[in-house]
Chain A
Amino acid sequence: MIVLLKIVDVCTRVEGHGTVKILVQNDEISSVDFEIGSNRGFESFLIGKKLNDVPKIVSRICGLCYASQTIASCKAIENMFEIAVPEQSILLRYLLLFGELIKSHTMHFFFQSLPDLFQIFEISQKPFSPYELIRYDSQLTTNVYELIKIGNEIERIFGGRSVHLITPIPGGLIYLPSRKNISIARKYFQRAIINLEWIIEKFIDVFSNHVPPKEYDLPNVMYLGLNNFDNFDRYRGTLKIKENERNSIEFAEKNYSSYFEKDINLRGIDFHFDKSKRFLVGPISRYKITENYEIDNINTYLEYFDKSWQNGVLFANFLRLLEMYFESQQGLKILDEPVLNRRIILPSLTSLKNSEGVGVIEAPRGMLLHHYYVDDNSLIKKAKIFIPTEINISIINDIITKFAQELYNKTGDINLVKKKIQTVIRAFDPCISCVAH
Chain B
Amino acid sequence: MKPRIIIISLTSCSGCISTLISLDIFPQFLERTKIIHFPFILDVEKIEDCDIALVEGCISEDSEIGLLKEVRKHAKKVYALGTCAAYGGILSLSNSRNIKPISTYIEIDGIIPGCPPPSKLLGNILIRLIENKDTILSEKVLCSSCPLRGNMEENLDADIIKINPNPDEIVLGEENLDCFLKRGILCLGPITREGCESKCIKLGLPCEGCMGPVSKDFTSNIINFLSLVSLSEDLKNYEGIFYRFSKPKLRR
Interface set of A (CB-CB < 8 Å, partner B):
10, 12-17, 37-38, 40-41, 44-45, 48-50, 52-53, 56-57, 60-64, 66, 103, 107, 111-112, 127, 129-131, 134, 141, 145, 148-149, 151-152, 160-164, 166-167, 169-172, 174-176, 345-350, 433
Contact = CB atoms under 8 A, between A and B. Distances in A.
Interface stretch (B126-134, B136-144, B201-209, B224-232): B201-209
Nearest to A145: B27
A63 B163 contact: no
A40 B166 contact: no
A348 B39 contact: no
B14 A433 contact: yes
B18 to A, nearest CB: 5
B190 to A, nearest CB: 19
B239 interface: yes
Given A13-B42, A41-B97, A111-B40, A348 B61 contact: no
Give the residue among B22, B35, B89 with the most A Cβ atoms within 10 A: B22
A141 B115 contact: no
Contacts of A112: 41
B240 interface: yes
B212 to A, nearest CB: 14
B200 interface: yes
24 contacts: A10-B39, A15-B14, A17-B39, A45-B95, A56-B208, A57-B90, A63-B14, A63-B116, A66-B15, A107-B18, A111-B40, A111-B41, A134-B27, A134-B30, A151-B22, A160-B202, A161-B118, A169-B205, A171-B167, A174-B170, A174-B205, A175-B172, A345-B168, A433-B13
B220 interface: no
Interface in B3-27: 9, 11-19, 21-22, 24, 26-27
Contacts of B91: 40-41, 45
B14 A62 contact: yes
Contact of A160 (B15, B116, B200, B210): B200
A349 B166 CA distance: 7
B116 A12 contact: no
Given A38-B61, A44-B96, A53-B164, A63 B18 contact: yes
B58 to A, nearest CB: 10
Contacts of A131: 30
A170 B199 contact: no
B53 to A, nearest CB: 17
Contacts of A41: 91, 94, 96-97
Nearest to B92: A45
Contacts of B95: 45
Contact of B204 (A62, A111, A174): A174
B169 to A, nearest CB: 8
B199 A53 contact: no
A151 B132 CA distance: 31
Interface string B177-215: 000000000000000000000011011110010100000
B45 interface: yes
A180 B116 CA distance: 26
B232 to A, nearest CB: 13
Contact of A346 (B96, B168, B238): B168
A82 to B, nearest CB: 15
Contacts of B210: 164
A152 B172 contact: no
A407 B125 CA distance: 47
B203 A174 contact: yes
10 residue pairs, one from A and one from B, having the closest CB atoms: A63-B15, A171-B167, A346-B167, A348-B168, A60-B90, A111-B41, A63-B14, A63-B13, A176-B172, A45-B93
B239 to A, nearest CB: 6
Contact of B21 (A107, A172, A345): A107
A107 B42 CA distance: 13
Interface bracket on B = 35 or more
Contacts of B173: 176
Contact of A103 (B11, B16, B18, B90): B18
B45 A10 contact: yes
Contact of B94 (A37, A40, A134, A161): A40
B93 A172 contact: no
B60 interface: yes
Contacts of A63: 12-19, 116
A61 B11 CA distance: 11
A141 B27 contact: yes
Given A57-B93, A129-B42, A166-B200, 20 more contacts: A14-B40, A45-B93, A48-B238, A57-B90, A60-B89, A62-B15, A63-B116, A64-B14, A66-B13, A66-B15, A103-B22, A134-B27, A141-B27, A152-B119, A164-B116, A166-B199, A171-B168, A345-B168, A347-B167, A348-B169
Given A52-B164, A107-B22, A16 B14 contact: yes
A50 B239 CA distance: 10
B43 interface: yes
Contacts of B39: 10, 12-13, 17
A148 B163 CA distance: 34
A126 to B, nearest CB: 9
Given A50-B163, A131-B30, A161 B199 contact: yes
Given A44-B96, A48-B239, A174-B203, A62 B13 contact: yes
A226 B35 CA distance: 40
Given A13-B39, A50-B238, A111-B40, A44 B94 contact: yes
A169 B18 CA distance: 23
B43 A149 contact: no
Given A171-B167, A347-B168, A166 B203 contact: yes
A404 to B, nearest CB: 18
Contacts of A17: 9, 39
A130 B30 contact: yes
A62 B16 CA distance: 10
A4 B13 CA distance: 35
A171 to B, nearest CB: 4
Contact of B45 (A12, A45, A350): A12
A182 to B, nearest CB: 16
B112 to A, nearest CB: 14
B52 to A, nearest CB: 17
